[in-house]
Amino acid sequence: MNLIHYRKPERSVWSPFDRLTTLQQEMNRLFEGTFGEGPSNLFGGWNPALDVYQDKDNVTVVVELPGLNKDEIDISIHEGALSISGERKQEAEKDDAETFRSERFFGRFQRSVHLPSAVDHDKVTASYKDGVLTVVLPKSEEAKPRQITVSAS
């Protein structure tokens, strides 16, 4: 799978659909403002935004998980898929607190991604900083690119 950042197409000067495009952009703006980043589930779930990178040695998975305790994040690998799950708890407040605006997600979440390469399960490391989880998965030796020398016969 390959997902590339959406870029706004150049708008031609005389297009009769200009206004329509603007309206559509306004609608997108509206929804982006309400539901935030990443593909969110409209029915109450939380799908934290996630990136996958790879170079010749490692596969790196980055997940935006603001406000979590690192002990509350579960990471597992099963059959070539990485799963990250946990629960985000709302900040404790007194009973008489009134909420005026509530856009942030709380509760359980789970994200799974298929890893683009075989990885060495024993060498996986994870770090959590500024609300961002980074999982580094070293590729297994068999998955690394290798140079094959041609022997003279």
**84 touching another protein, by CB under 8 A:** no
Q: Enumerate residues 6+ apart whose C-beta is below 8 A from 63.
A: 48, 49, 50, 51, 84, 111, 132, 133, 135
- Interface stretch with another protein, choices 13-21, 76-84, 128-136, 140-148 (CB under 8 A): 128-136
Of 67, 71, 58, 62, nearest in space to 111 by CA: 62
- Interface stretch with another protein, choices 12-20, 77-85, 131-139, 143-151 (CB under 8 A): 131-139
**Which residue in the set 79, 130, 141, 142 belongs to the binding site for another protein (CB under 8 A)?**
130
**38 touching another protein, by CB under 8 A:** yes
- Interface stretch with another protein, choices 9-17, 27-35, 76-84, 141-149 (CB under 8 A): 27-35
The nearer residue to another protein, 95 or 142, going by C-beta atoms, is 95
**77 touching another protein, by CB under 8 A:** no
Beta bridge partners of 146: none
Q: How far is the CB of 146 from another protein (least distance, A)?
A: 18
